[in-house]
Amino acid sequence: MHQVEIATTQDTLLDSPEMVLNMGPQHPSTHGVLRVILKLDGETVMDLDCDIGYLHRGMEKIAENRMYTMIAPYWDRLDYIAAVSNGLVWVETVEQMMGLAVPIRAHYLRTILTELNRIASHLLWLATHALDIGAVTVLLWALREREEILKIFERQFGARLTCHAWRVGGMANDAYDDFGKDVRQFVNNFPKRLDEYETVLSENRIWLSRTVGIGVISAADAVAIGLSGPALRGSGVAWDIRKSRPYAAYGEMDFDIPVGENGDTYDRYLVRLEEMRQSRRIIGQALENLPDGPVNAKLPKVVKPPVGDYYHSIEGPKGEIGCYLVSDGSAQPWRVRVRPPSFVNLQALKQMCVGHLVADVVAIIGTLDIVLGEIDR
Amino acid sequence: MFWGKLIDRGAMLLFGPINVLNDLLLKAFSAETINYFVWPLIQIGLVVTLVAGWVAYATYLERKISAFMQARLGPMRVGPWGLLQPIADGIKLLAKEDFIPDKADRWIFFFAPYIAVASAFIVFSVIPFGPDWAVIADVNIGLLLVLAVSSVGVLALILAGWSSNSKYALLGGLRSSAQMVSYEVSMGLSLIGALMFARTLSLSGMVYAQGSDSIWYIVYQPAGFLIFLISGIAENNRAPFDLPEAESELVAGFHTEYSGMRWSLFFMAEYAAMVVVAAVATTVYLGGWYFPFVDRLEQSGNHNLYVIVSLLVFLIKASVLLYIYFWLRWTLPRFRYDQLMDIGWKWLIPSALINIVLTAIGVFLIQALNGWRGLQTIEALSQGLNLTAYGKIIMIVIGLISVFITGGLLSRINWRSRDFNLKTQRRNIRLVNVAKGKPAVEAVQQ
Amino acid sequence: MQLKTPKSTLVQKLKRFLFMDLVKGMGLTLKYNVGALTDKDSVAGKGIYTEQYPKVRPDVAPRFHGAPRLNMDPETHDTLCIACNLCAIACPEDCIDVIPMDVEIIVAGKPRRKKVLDEFIFDTSRCMFCALCQEACPTSCLELTQDFELATYSRAGFVWNREMLEQGRETVKYTS
């Protein structure tokens, strides 16, 4: 952690010395236990440093001592808001390393449920971001929509949040009886709700004045830092792993990726709202074309990928979630490294915040959509 | 006829005991003492009870209304529909540990909440809840007294922030007080527009002026009402102007270190100040206790009933304004502090000043047009400026035109403002559809 | 830096002058306020979405990963557990302890030893409800039920033995 330098002498009598403010780990708006050390001149942020590690649980070390199929429930706890995508990256890494062919019905169901998970994650993002900026009602409305998705997850997987959704080779259970009906009902009700959020926020002059021009990052800088997900697309770079390296059934889906222009908070907000609409489109298509068949492949007695290493990543709601797996041929991995999107996105915080006011730091942390479970693992 | 008799009987039953009490008191004190001392004390007791109850149930209503707006239920467990919730909250706060921070300034820490509550409650002595005995003291500089006394509340904030001996409380207190002071200027200035019609600073006089003109001044002064209401909301540190109190920043601003009953006194002072602004706005712009056909009760001889119905009219109007407070809080995001101060100094004060100038021109025009080519615009000048129907129409038109002129001048003054201007800032994002399997990176813009 | 915004028409300027963007949002909250009092549809409409929990029990899905239970044969009321230890091996958190014992049975006239279940310890405080144990059990004996109210007053209360697992726990159901 680099030391934040503060001036200890004053050049003239009118200089006010710079102040170090600690937005500590316990803070209503830092989305978890993130400690941000701000160097302020009055209210303007001069320098910023993040102190992370308060939620370190040793996930990667735990993974070295468990068998491959037993690691999947731990992976849900990384990005605990969108647990289904985390599970997906793990099982897909193992499957691709082993060369296992997953049945097509499982691919389609994975697509549907992962897109539902993306909508759920973006809804929580919207809820907390709006709450930080002051529009409390949107929090409650977005959580109501998210509740519908969590009910679908509960009926399908058995748990709402940390679902343990996927198994190596497919899924544990086929879609439950009313799956199509529930998902279709959600898909039909959802655009109206999105329009409601837009009514309250998108043209609201207070919202615009809090988000336009705040936290700007240019496309070149975004690519240089390694941003991914909506943070990257908001700056104008059209990069989406679902399009460039399709996985699951995305190769057969017809959808657009929203790309912003100015790289500010407002663009990222619009990008995420539009992504929710596109997710709805994907779910509709996948549900229409859902093939029949089995949902899991035949696995060997003990899952043992061949010796070697493998990196696989998917487009999670917050960005590119990756998993680098080094196997030594035994039943337990040699090393697992998670590439968390929030960790890399957080590197951009300093560049986005310097020059803005303290009240904007909260908005910028919200727009990066970080979750400390991933950052600290 | 039947209803008339029933109302008379009811009034006799209701007010009989009051006459009996009056006779009893006359035996002990002189008539003067009773009229200027004993009855006002009873009035004060009633008003304080009424306002304290109103404030307590305003917190309950805020929770219920915000819950309904958010598709949830609000308090439901304590009492039927949660109606005993404020009482439960009060008992809880009384039972909390009463501590004063270690190096805090004891006496100032002790007195700050009382100053806040006192300044909020004193104002109610001049507010006309109704015509005759429903106002405690009809001072002839009532409006000035309201503005002056509510300014004392700012002192309480600074004292609370300072005496807490905490960096965040001090910063929060200074910010809140700077905000309140800025918005008091536009609050005072916006009232001058309505004053030009009422021609008296006495709040009761304003209501009588609106009554004798059979109009509510909001019709003549839409801009003034808006400016007053927005300034009042900012004065109370309520959303969307509540950044000094927002949790995401400085925990709780100036009352961070307060807990238990001391904190609840600040809370009550905030809600009482809201009720003050609502009551003053009702009195000056919404006609106070005046409502078109209620004075027929007075004419048919039911004086006390007339007073009670007028009181209800006043309470309903003030409650509508309180609903607007809750409505705004739970819909709109909050402003950043510098945007907040921008609005106060660069938008509201110039618009209040422009409003004064344009209203003065309007009143001058009305008086000049009086008698021109037989056009009668003014009816009477005794109780405020009473206009004829023609006069009213002309005044309303002038009011609407001045809204647009104000808007135009403001956007000229603030041509450099990036945040608040007339350009719509809604942007659209483009959708990219790329062939499957191909990398979708487009040229990185430099 | 220069932000790109589109040019606005006169109608848009007028709308912004008249605060239409704020009024739109406020109109929606007003609709919700009125809808909360009148509308019954909370999923598609504007009704109340709250489930008043202790009075109204939630609808839990059949597949819910809740409290564990050891099932018994409905006719013989013997446990279905064959003490195979597969659930303990499958558990990532090592919270299951299966203690077998040997009993003597007569099979075709010859005395044989059979392994049966003696004691089954399940630590619900360590459990992450991943249901790997439920999937591993070959006789559908270990099942995660729909019970989610697992709070106890002591740490020891989290460690369940065979009797608690077979009979379940009585939860207090509040009616008011």
Q: Which residues on chain A are in Cβ contact (under 8 Å) with B436?
A: 243, 246, 251-252
A213/C3 CB distance under 8 A: yes
Would residue A47 count as lying in a domain? no
Q: Is the residue at A195 inside a domain? A: yes
CA distance B82 to A113: 40
Which residue of B425, B428, B442, B446 is the best one to mutate when testing the A interface, meaning the one whose CB has the most A CBs within 10 A?
A: B425
Q: Which of B208, B268, B270, B210 is nearest to B239 (CA)?
A: B270
Find the residue in A nearest to C21 (Cα). Answer: A204
B137 CA to chain C: closest CA distance, Å?
Answer: 38
Confirm if A112 and A283 have CB atoms less than 8 A apart.
yes
When CB atoms are compared, the residue of C22, C49, C144 closest to A204 is: C22
B73 CB within 8 Å of a chain A CB: no
Most C-contacting residue of B61, B64, B68, B401 (CB-CB within 10 A), to test interface: B68
C4, closest residue in chain B (CA to CA)? B427
Token pair 């790329």: residue: B434
Q: How far apart are CA C7 and CA C15, in angstroms?
A: 14
Could B73 and C52 be called an inter-chain contact, meaning their C-beta atoms sit closer than 8 Å?
yes
pLDDT, one tens digit for every residue, chain C (176 residues): 455 566 667 777 777 777 888 888 889 889 888 888 887 777 777 888 888 888 888 889 999 998 899 988 888 888 888 888 999 999 998 899 999 888 888 877 788 888 888 889 999 899 999 899 999 999 989 989 888 888 888 988 889 988 888 887 777 777 66
Q: Is residue A10, in this structure, part of any structural domain at all?
A: no
DSSP tag of B161: H
Distance from CA of B347 to the nearest CA of A (A): 15
Contact C132/A213, CB-based, under 8 Å?
Answer: no
C residues 92-151 near A, CB within 8 Å? 92, 128-132, 135, 144
What are the residues facing B322 on neighbouring strands? none
Distances in Å between the alpha carbon of A88 and those of A76, A160, A234, A284, A341?
A: 9, 16, 25, 20, 15
Dihedral sign of CA atoms B196, B199, B200, B206 in order: negative
What percent of chain B shows pLDDT beyond 70? Answer: 87
In eight-state DSSP terms, residue B346 is I
Which pLDDT belongs to residue A13? Answer: 46
Enter the ipTM: 0.86
- Among A311, A373, A313, A364, smallest CA distance to A342 is for A373
Closest C-alpha to A287, from A120, A103, A102, A109: A109
Residue A137 domain-assigned (yes or no): yes
Question: Rounded to a whole number, what is the distance in Å from the CA of A199 to chain C's nearest CA?
Answer: 6
Mutate to test the interface with B, among C33, C40, C41 (most CBs of B within 10 A): C33
Q: How many residues does chain C have?
A: 176
Residue B446 has pLDDT above 50, yes or no: no
User: Taking CA atoms, what residue in B is nearest to C11?
Assistant: B424
Q: How many CB pairs under 8 A join A and B?
A: 148
What φ, ψ does residue C115 adopt, rounded to 5°? Answer: -90, 125
More confident residue, B27 or B365: B365
In a domain, A233, yes or no: yes
Q: Find, in chain C, the residue whose alpha carbon is nearest to that of A148.
A: C43
* Residue found under tokens 């017809």: A254
Q: In whole angstroms, what is the distance from residue B234 CA to residue A338 CA?
A: 48
CATH number where A74 lies: 1.10.645.10
Per-residue pLDDT of chain A in tens (377 residues, 90 and over written 9): 455 555 555 555 455 667 788 887 877 766 788 888 888 887 788 888 888 889 999 999 999 999 998 999 999 898 899 899 999 999 999 999 988 889 999 999 999 999 999 999 999 999 999 988 888 899 999 999 999 999 999 999 989 988 888 999 889 888 888 899 999 999 999 999 999 998 888 888 888 888 888 889 988 989 999 999 999 988 888 888 888 888 888 888 888 888 888 888 988 999 999 999 999 999 999 999 999 988 888 888 888 889 999 999 999 999 999 999 999 989 999 999 999 999 999 999 988 998 898 888 888 998 998 899 899 88
- Contact criterion met (CB below 8 Å) for A363 and A250: no
Nearest to C24 among A72, A172, A199 (CB): A199
Interchain proximity B422–C33, CB inside 8 Å: no
State whether C3 and A212 contact (CB < 8 Å): yes
Give me the residues paired with residue A258 across strands. B431
At CB < 8 Å, which residues of chain B contact C? 65, 67-73, 76, 327-328, 330-332, 407, 422-425, 427-428
Q: Which residues of B touch C175 (CB under 8 A)?
A: none
Interchain contact, A159 vs C64, CB within 8 Å: yes
Q: Which of B73-82, B194-203, B224-233, B300-309 has the lowest mean pLDDT?
A: B300-309
Task: Quote the domain boundaries for residue A193.
Answer: 59-376
Compare CB distances from B331 to A200, A219, A254 and report the shortest one's residue. Answer: A200
Structure tokens at B253: 């601003």
CB contact under 8 A, B429 and A270: yes
Cis peptide before B240 (omega within 30 of 0): yes
Phi, psi for B350 (deg, rounded to 5): -60, -40
DSSP letters along C77-114, please?
--B------HHHHH-TT--EEEEEEEEEEEETTEEEEE
Residues belonging to chain A: 377
* Shortest distance, CA B213 to any CA of chain A (angstroms): 38
Q: What share of chain B is helix, strand, coil (3-state, %, to 5)?
A: 70, 0, 30
Task: Tell me which chain A residues have a C-beta less than 8 angstroms from the C-beta of B421.
Answer: none
How many structural domains are present in chain A? 1
Q: Which residue of C has its CA nearest to A162?
A: C130
Cα within 13 Å of Cα(B418), Cβ side: 13
**Tokens at B18, concatenated:** 């009051």
Q: Collapsing DSSP states into helix, strand and coil, what is residue A160?
A: coil
Nearest CB neighbour to C50, from listed B72, B328, B332 = B72
What pLDDT, on the 0 to 100 scale, is given for residue A173? Answer: 87
**Smallest CA–CA separation between C80 and chain B, in Å?**
45
Which domains, from first to last, does chain C contain? Answer: 9-50 (no CATH), 68-167 (3.30.70.3270)
Q: Which of C1, C25, C43 sits opposite A189 (nearest CB)?
A: C43
